[in-house]
Chains A and B, each alone.
Chain A
Amino acid sequence: MAFTFAAFCYMLALLLTAALIFFAIWHIIAFDELKTDYKNPIDQCNTLNPLVLPEYLIHFFFCVMFLCAAEWLTLFLNLPLLAYHVWRYTSRPVMSCPGLYDPTTIMNADILAYCQKEGWCKLAFYLLSFFYYLYGMIYVLVSS
């Protein structure tokens, strides 16, 4: 049992994924608030938009870590989400500040539903990957 770089990656990913889970929950709540008319879309977009890039960067960051640690399977599992993030950010509406959400279109039922579904899917993904990283960390620790 040794503390390898891979194990370190998994531990880091574990912590960061916990953070990402909170991001996802935050998104879901935020969109639910929009749907139930609690918040003004401008305010809501202003609070959500700054969180988008950090989330993507965190995910990108531990993907790179896994690349460095040559954890191919883990990397492979994360690639679809990474690709999705890249696609999502490149196809964002024209806006001068970072972020994805445009207050003028966010109230469109299609977009709102999409964002909510996206939030739930991400939450599920992060939760699963949380346990996977936990398992991976222990596996790496035990096997090495």
Chain B
Amino acid sequence: MSAPGRTNLRGSVGYSQNSTPNGGAAPPCQNGPLQTYPPMYPPTGYYGAPPHHQGYPGVSAPGKAPVTNSANYYQSNQQHHVAPSSYSAGPPPQPYATVPSSAPPPPPPHAQYSQQPFQQPPYAPPGSYYAQQPYQVSPAQLHQQPGLVAAPASGPGAPIYPSAPGSGHYGTTRTTTAPEATQMGAPLHHYSAAPPPPTAALHPGYEAAAQMTVNGKGCAAGVQNSSHQHYDQSHPAPRSYNSYSGGGADRPASGTLSASAHSSPGRHQGTPFGFAADSGASSASAAASGPAGALTSSSSDDDDEDEDEEAGGDSSSSSTGSASPVPNNYDSLEGGSYPDSMPPSNDMTNQAQPYSNYGYQGMPPAYQQGPAQPTDAPPSQNLYGPSGYQPYSQPFPSLSQLSAALGGLSGVPELEVEALRPVNLLQERNLLPPRPLEAPEPDISSDLKKVNCSPQTFRCTLTSMPQTQALLNKARLPLGLLLHPFRDLQLPVITSNTIVRCRSCRTYINPFVTFLDQRRWKCNLCYRVNDVPDEFMYNPVTRSYGEPHKRPEVQNSTVEFIASSDYMLRPPQPAVYLFVLDVSHNAVEAGYLKRFCDSLLENLDKIPGDTRTRVGFLTFDSTVHFYNLTEGLSQPQMLVVSDIDDVFIPSHDSLMVNLKESRELVKELLTSLPAMFSQSRETHSALGPALQAAFKLMSPTGGRVSVFQTQLPTLGAGKLQSREDPNQRSSAKGVQHLGPATDFYKKLALDCSGQQIGVDLFLLSSQYADLASLACIAKYSAGSVFYYPSFHHVHNPAQMEKFRRDLERYLTRKIGFEAVMRIRCTKGLSIHTFHGNFFVRSTDLLSLANVNPDSAFAVQMSIDDSLADSSLACFQAALLYTSSKGKRRIRVHTLCLPVVSQLSDVFAGADVQAITCLLANMAIDRSISCSLSDARDAVVNAAVDFASAYRSSVSNLQQSGLVVPAVMRLFPLYVLALLKQKALRTGTSTRLDERVFAMCEFKTQPLPQLMRMLHPDLYRLDNMSDQGALHLNDAVVPQPRLLHLSAETLSRDGAFLMDCGSVFYLWIGKGCGETFIRDVLGCPSYASVPSNMSHIPELQTPLSERVRAFLDWLQDNRAFSSTFHVVKDDSSAKAAFLQHLVEDRTESASSYHDFLQHVHQQMSK
């Protein structure tokens, strides 16, 4: 927790407001008299908001692409496949070629392509070539990256690449175009290796679809080209339409292969422009012409689908793909990315209006008429108001106005100014952006920005890398990376005999290397000059020779290589799954077994694997039971080993069986298993011996062990005692037993890790089960932990439902076996500490027995040597794994950040969400290694230190009070939210297991999910307007405003949705309108709403449809589906909802305002 950048231990300054004596006095979660903001924060609430506050009438509702599942994707593709004919009628192939606006494509690549024998007359002319264009066009979407010979290569015409001159087999392919494939690897087989005739029929569809995507994106570039406008909905539609139509000609510019890396117009790496343009295009054209409108909007569909596929990966799970891509995309529609959250960006600099270009430039009157009117509210309300900037800057004339003036006059990026605008937190209350924050973008050249790694995969806490450790120390911010490397995404897959790597540091070649000439390249991490191998001179995408810089590896910062045998220590293992099931009396009581067996039966065909896939089952109570499932047996044979002190494997080859061969037996076992133990009276649990048996069973192959445990292990090795004292649950003194009680599980996990066995733990316990000890088995073997407190199949249907959904995702999600991940960074930087589930094998190498798409990692970095001699710092994460199809693959992500020497630049590039998440990880480490109070102090000090550092860095700051730069304005709020999390809170009764589980979650959840857990999104649902809404397929998805997490924002006559990541709460006020209750919940009145309602009925009312559309939309971009609870204002479940209102004072924790006061006091000490 002692990052080099922070000195977080400030003695025991503590956070003394916690336990203020009037804890019991004021009702919890109510901002009583303590909250004295009336003048600046009218009690009606900024958000109490009449329906208008979200009006953006400018463009009513741009056709926005759906975040749908692959089924839709497929369909929309099919539509497109019809569409292009009419569409491309306008600009036939030539225009595509003609205007390489800023692109100097040496040999127009399409020419080369068109020479290829593609027999797809109906769609071919542009299709065959442009089909791959989306990937070139949109370096923005990093993973749908350019350069790959996707469908065309494998299309009917050209099944496989001819061998490159002097080289072996170059097959590059990408998976994007194969939504029907269940695995990343699948398309490879489909297209590249053996293009089967049947798929040929599909290709036109895909390609046509892809072409449409090109159009969408081409126009994105066009928009940007022509206007450099930060598009938001309030922009006059015609403009974007013009640029769209003009963009038709521009398409090839960014579309050409050659253009992809360095030449296309500066386009944000993020999605805003692309999607903004799409939406602009579609809405505009929708307005203009019926069919064409439909067409274009579906093209933007496609665009989204790309994005979504990227998130979704497998077709089976694309709807539940990884968490965040979509909100970001939609944000752009919603009014842009929030200026303050964005780092300086050149794209903004061309804007004429320095202030108003942010967010709500052309803000329609409706918005301004909201209760948050700048005129009747103090400046603090103006954050997003059009005229808000001036009033703000007045208190700080020295810095902000000056620099703003500079920005306006001399081209200093306004965003930087905006990012650094001092915000006095004690005065400004309205800090939340209207839509969830986006990741800031590094301030690098637009060429690099386009190819840079997606922030969802790779994110740095400081998007501007400080030059020296001294500078970092001055900034008092933690430096680290947040990685989500195995995220479900679409990425180019490259097959090549030689994988080009730096000879000294072994870095994979990436877009940020420099080519000194045709034959030599310079590593961007260690600066060594390397030779370009002959094979690399051939570019399989353009089929041209002598253009190494156009290879897909150099065009994409996220790529996947098919590794050769050099990357194998042994032949790739098959997918092997072992299920270890608790069948003691307690487990039977809880009733999970039936659910598990049913789920597995349902998903048996969807489990990732190939013909070699093997499964096994092992159950245990006080003895360990094995199941012989060898093919040919008439029914499964149970073998009982009762010698738990020295477990042995009764039969070596018949326990782990080939799923394909023994499918019937497996099914039979799963059908009979629940009944088999229903009479069990055995209360003991021999988990340790069962795990040892599992280890022995799996060690020859490696694979995944899924352990289902329902109680404290009481027998044999690894038995545990109850360590929790229920009376101490709410003690403020310090929480004991956060660490493991025994190292048995850790040692076993390390053994497992050594044999490439990953262990996932499902704990379904109603009692204390010492998760702190048990979780070690998953933690060090790179598994995951799932915890279902008070699970019961009858009494707790919500948990049961959650278990079912989680299982479905768990069983069908992608998996990588025998994986290692190495993180390399530019010389001068070094990795300090890792956070997540893995075993650290050396200073930069993580050993991951299994890798799953839902776990993320965090890394703390330090700066050893000055980075002064380079202007860019790069990070590369390379994940080597065996896919479930038995292919060895390497997934490489490269992130590039600018190096800065000014403290203000460091501040301007701070990513508040990433910082908060890294801080959370550090705090959890600290609370386990030292104590909880220590960790809490350190977290508070992080906020205090940062504010002090900022204040001292801005010498001419006149303002007293708690002043932070605008990019970090949410930092204290997040810190407070962090302190109120289950993992770190004190004073509130928290079960030890739940606390430990929350800690595990913090260590492994990807950032968007973590942020939602930390600071849930609150929306008001009963007065959603269609303004600003997204139009997906045929549904309208309203976009309500984000509300502050305070009881003030709740009103009795409203219905509020809180999105906590893994759970949704719908809070219904007592006076909630009858219409809402009737139309959405299907109940006649408030009183008749059942207290345990956990789903929204599918009513055919418009309001219900919109609410469900919104919920589905929120749900669509996360891996595990969330549960839903309706919370009535007077129900007992209210507490669960209210505990998330982090800005309010509770019995044991202070309110946001008190917290700010506390931080302020600490600063002045």
A residues bordering B, Cβ < 8 Å? Answer: 34-35, 37, 40-42, 93-96, 102-104, 107-110
Contact = CB atoms under 8 A, between A and B. Distances in A.
A73 B833 CA distance: 42
Nearest to B743: A95
A110 B739 CA distance: 19
Contacts of A40: 841-842
A48 B832 CA distance: 22
B672 interface: no
B831 A37 contact: no
A29 B537 CA distance: 45
Given A94-B742, A95-B743, A96-B747, A107 B754 contact: no
Given A104-B839, A110-B832, A42 B754 contact: yes
A63 B171 CA distance: 71
A96 B742 contact: yes
B380 to A, nearest CB: 41
A94 B754 contact: no
Contacts of A96: 742-744, 747
B840 A41 contact: yes
A109 B830 contact: yes
A142 to B, nearest CB: 50
Contacts of B12: none
Interface string B824-862: 000000111110000111110100000000000000001
Interface of B: 2, 739-744, 746-747, 750, 754, 780, 830-834, 839-843, 845, 862
Contacts of A35: 843
Contacts of A104: 746, 750, 780, 839-840
Nearest to A107: B840
Contact of B831 (A42, A95, A109): A109
Contacts of B2: 110
Main secondary structure of the interface of B (DSSP, over half): mixed
B1091 to A, nearest CB: 43
11 contacts: A35-B843, A37-B843, A41-B840, A93-B743, A94-B742, A95-B743, A96-B742, A104-B840, A107-B843, A109-B833, A110-B2
B841 A41 contact: yes
Contacts of B832: 108-110
Given A109-B830, A109-B832, A110-B832, A37 B842 contact: yes
Given A104-B750, A109-B862, A37 B845 contact: yes
B834 to A, nearest CB: 8
Nearest to B840: A107
Nearest to B925: A108
A103 B750 contact: yes
Contacts of B741: 94
Nearest to A95: B743
Contacts of A108: 832-834, 840
Contacts of B839: 103-104
Contacts of B780: 104
A92 B979 CA distance: 28
A69 B1011 CA distance: 64
A103 B754 CA distance: 13
A138 to B, nearest CB: 45
A107 B842 contact: yes
Contacts of B743: 93-96, 102
Given A42-B754, A110-B833, A94 B740 contact: yes
Nearest to A96: B743
B752 to A, nearest CB: 12
Contacts of B742: 94, 96
A78 B744 CA distance: 36
Contacts of B754: 42
Contacts of A34: 842
Contacts of A109: 830-833, 843, 862
A129 to B, nearest CB: 31
A107 B838 CA distance: 12
Contacts of B841: 40-41, 107
Contacts of B830: 109
B25 to A, nearest CB: 41
Given A108-B833, A110-B833, 9 more contacts: A37-B842, A41-B841, A41-B842, A94-B739, A94-B740, A94-B742, A102-B746, A108-B840, A109-B843
Nearest to B830: A109
A102 B746 CA distance: 10
A34 to B, nearest CB: 8
A41 B742 CA distance: 20
A108 B780 CA distance: 14
Listed from nearest, the 3 A-B pairs whose CB atoms lie closest are A107-B840, A37-B842, A109-B832
A58 B750 CA distance: 31
Q: Which of B741, B744, B750, B754 has the most CB of A within 10 A?
A: B750
A63 B147 CA distance: 71
Contacts of A107: 834, 840-843
A102 to B, nearest CB: 8
Nearest to A42: B750
A110 B741 CA distance: 24
Q: Which of A35, A104, A110 has the most CB of B within 10 A?
A: A104
Nearest to A113: B832
Nearest to A109: B832
A35 B831 CA distance: 12
Contacts of A102: 743, 746
A103 B743 CA distance: 11
B295 to A, nearest CB: 56
Q: Which of A34, A41, A102 has the most CB of B within 10 A?
A: A41
Nearest to A103: B750
A115 to B, nearest CB: 14
A42 B748 CA distance: 12
Nearest to B776: A104
B839 to A, nearest CB: 6
Q: Which of B739, B833, B862 has the most CB of A within 10 A?
A: B833
A54 to B, nearest CB: 21
A42 to B, nearest CB: 6
Contacts of B862: 109
